[in-house]
Structure 1
Amino acid sequence: MTSTLKGITLKGSAELVADFFSFGINSILYQRGIYPPEKFTRVSHYDMSLLVTADPELKNYLETVVSQLKEWLLNCTVQKLVLVITCLKTDEVLERWQFDIECDKSALECSAPREKPIQVIQGEVRSVLRQITASVTFLPLLENPCSFNLLIYTDKDLAIPENWEESSPHHISQPEEVRLRSFTTTIHKVCSQVTYKKACPL
Structure 2
Amino acid sequence: MLMSSDNDVKDYIGNIMQQLRKWIYGGRLSKLVVVIINKATTETVERWVFSIDIQKEGEETDEKPKAQIQREIQAIFRQITASVSYLPFLQDDEYTFNVLVYTDPSYDSRRIPSEWADTHGDGKMITGETDQVDFSTFSTNNHSVGTSVSYKLG
**How many pairs does the alignment contain?**
147
* Letter aligned with residue 125 of structure 2: H
Equivalent AA in structure 2 for residue 181 of structure 1 = S
Aligned to 1:81: 32
Measure, in 1, the Cα distance between the counterparts of 2:95 and 2:5. 19
Residues of 1 paired with 2:25 and 2:96: CA distance?
Answer: 29
Give 1:91's match in structure 2, choosing from 42, 60, 74.
42
The residue aligned with 2:22 is 71
How far apart, CA to CA, are the structure 1 residues paired with 2:56 and 2:19? Answer: 18
Residue 154 of structure 1 aligns with an amino acid whose one-letter code is T
Per residue, is there more helix in 1 or in 2?
1
Shift of 1:157: 3.0
Residue aligned with 1:99, SS: strand
Ranges in structure 2 where 5+ consecutive residues have no aligned partner: none
- 1:149-179 Cα offsets, whole Å, 9 max, x none, are 0001001232221210011100111221111
Secondary structure at the aligned position of 1:193 is classed as strand
Partner letter of residue 85 of structure 2? T
RMSD: 1.9
SS in structure 2 opposite 1:60? helix
Residue among 65, 78, 81 paired with 1:130: 78
TM-score (norm 2): 0.88
CA distance in structure 2 between the aligned counterparts of 1:78 and 1:105, rounded to whole angstroms:
13
* 1:87 counterpart letter in structure 2: N
Structure 2 residue 95 is matched with structure 1 residue 146: yes
- CA shift at 1:115, angstroms? 2.1
- Identity of counterpart residues, as a percentage? 37
The reply on whether 1:189 has 2:144 as its aligned counterpart is yes
Q: Determine helix, strand or coil for the equivalent of 1:106.
A: coil
Residue 66 of structure 1: CA displacement? 0.9
The aligned residue for residue 57 of structure 1 is: 8
Distance in 2 of aligned mates of 1:154 and 1:77: 5
Letter in 1 for 2:142: I
Give 1:59 deviation, angstroms: 1.2
Q: What is the one-letter code of the residue matched to 1:191?
A: G
CA distance in 2, matches of 1:63, 1:130: 23
| Residue 172 (1) aligns with residue 123 (2) | no
What does the per-residue CA deviation read over 1:10-47, in whole Å, with 9 as the maximum and x for residues that have no partner?
A: xxxxxxxxxxxxxxxxx4xx1xxxxxxxxx4xxxxxxx
CA distance, structure 2, for counterparts of residue 169 and residue 115 of structure 1: 35
Equivalences for residues 18-37 of structure 1 within 5 A: 27=1, 30=2
2:106 equivalent to 1:157: yes
Whole-angstrom distance in 2 between the partners of 1:175 and 1:186: 34
